[in-house]
Structure 1
Amino acid sequence: MMRIIWLRHGETRANRERRYCGHENISLNERGWRQAEQAALRLARVPLTGLYCSDLDRCVRTAEAVEVYHPGIRRQPTPLLRELSFGAWEGLTYEEINSSNPEHLRRWIDQPDRVSPPGGERMVELEERLSRWLREVIETRTSTETVAVVSHGGPIRWFLSHQVWQDPDGFWRVRIPPGGCAVADWDGGHWTEVNEAEDG
């Protein structure tokens, strides 16, 4: 089985302040650097054969930490793995958005495939680019490989809810903290979530 390890980038100042980051190219804060190193150490003995990441700085820097322990592979940045674009809401907190535009915020939460943040992406657009990337990985990797993917909260939520659980409504229930990860195996037809405890 091919294994994919999704790793969320380390913390940023915006994460700490609970602001929507989206496509903003912000860097890790001090805690985020530590989280990236801790995540890299957890993966140090995993026989990775590929390392992909969003092309935004917070993911690239987290992937660099992983790369140190796997000198035989090189990170492959791509905009396909970016977070959902929140458009005019980027840099704002939920409370700030809810205070200025509560009706639009509620419609987006209730119908993210139909409604986008002002000037941002709909969930279906996120799904289209992530699905394209995932198909490329499945088609170009062998069934015995293990790849790591450094991305954002939104793409990891999408993968678990849409691909693994087959439950799009589960998107909002996923909680992956900065530096956290999700693991799944591909058997050629289905994804199965792997509990880290089971994985040793």
Structure 2
Amino acid sequence: MSRWYWVRHGPTHQKTFTGWRNVPSDLSDTAKIERLNAFLPQDALIVSSDLRRCVMTADALQDRRTRLPHDPHLREFHFGAWDGVHFSKIAEKDEALSRAYWETPGNTAPPGGESWNQSAARVAVGVRRIAEHHPDRDIIVVAHFGVILTQVQAVLGISAQEVLGHKIDPLSVTVLDPAAGTATQINHQP
């Protein structure tokens, strides 16, 4: 039975939608990184999104763990035209679309971007491939807020609307056991 340790990348200090833009993470809180590293199993495999903020965080946590290739399926939601724009500007420009995206997540997508369902399906492809190639191994995945929420949703069998009530802070870990359908920790900060 494998457990999945979903780590959100380090803080980016962005005040805008940050999807596929390749921004760095702030890893200056070395004490927090050391606590997180000590909490994570040393014999687990580690993989990350291919975006810089996740790669940097995975580098900081790799230690003696075996690293898998970066996986673009684990990228944050693709916010399209919204990427790099402040949330309030989106709401001002297109209130109805903005409200629909957050209040009824599913098939609503930003212009040129992905819907919740499209993002979740993309992430599921990457997760399934990792699970098939590494059965019965604990996996550490350094990923993004939205990506982690799609996996909490999938494992717990809850709606996108319900899962959006969860907080996932930078450098937190969410521990999921897909076979048991449980989340033993969500947004844990060692």
TM-score normalized by the length of structure 2: 0.88
- 1:40 positional shift: 5.0
Q: Tell me whether 1:164 sits opposite 2:159 in the alignment.
A: no
- Check 1:36–1:7 CA distance in 2 against 1; reply closer, same or farther (3 A cut): farther
The answer as to whether partners of 1:37 and 1:66 remain within 8 angstroms in 2 is: no
Query: Which residue of the other structure, out of 102, 111, 121, is the alignment partner of 2:104?
Result: 111
- 1:2 positional shift: 0.4
The answer as to whether partners of 2:36 and 2:171 remain within 8 angstroms in 1 is: no
Equivalent position SS for 1:148: strand
Query: Which residue of the other structure, out of 36, 53, 56, is the alignment partner of 2:51?
Result: 56
Matches within 5 A, 1:126-137: 126-137=119-130
- 1:147 positional shift: 1.2
- Check 1:122–1:181 CA distance in 2 against 1; reply closer, same or farther (3 A cut): same
- 1:74 positional shift: 2.0
Other-structure match for 1:193: 183
Q: CA RMSD in A?
A: 2.2
Residues 130-168 of structure 1 deviation map (CA, whole Å, 9 limit, x = unaligned):
11112112222232x21100000001011112x222112
The answer as to whether partners of 1:10 and 1:35 remain within 8 angstroms in 2 is: no
Query: Which residue of the other structure, out of 73, 76, 79, is the alignment partner of 2:72?
Result: 79
Query: Which residue of the other structure, out of 172, 176, 197, is the alignment partner of 2:168?
Result: 176
Q: Tell me whether 1:10 sits opposite 2:4 in the alignment.
A: no
The answer as to whether partners of 1:48 and 1:148 remain within 8 angstroms in 2 is: no
Counterparts of 2:27 and 2:142, CA distance in 1: 14
Could you list the runs of 4 or more consecutive aligned residues of structure 1 that deviate by over 6 angstroms after TM superposition? none
Counterparts of 1:170 and 1:7, CA distance in 2: 20
Percent identity at matched positions? 28
TM-score normalized by the length of structure 1: 0.84
Q: Tell me whether 1:27 sits opposite 2:12 in the alignment.
A: no
Number of residues paired by the alignment?
A: 186
Q: Tell me whether 1:66 sits opposite 2:58 in the alignment.
A: no
The answer as to whether partners of 1:39 and 1:180 remain within 8 angstroms in 2 is: no
Question: Residue 39 of structure 1 aligns to which amino acid in structure 2?
Answer: I
- 1:48 positional shift: 3.1
Counterparts of 2:98 and 2:42, CA distance in 1: 43
Structure 1 gaps of 5+ residues are: none
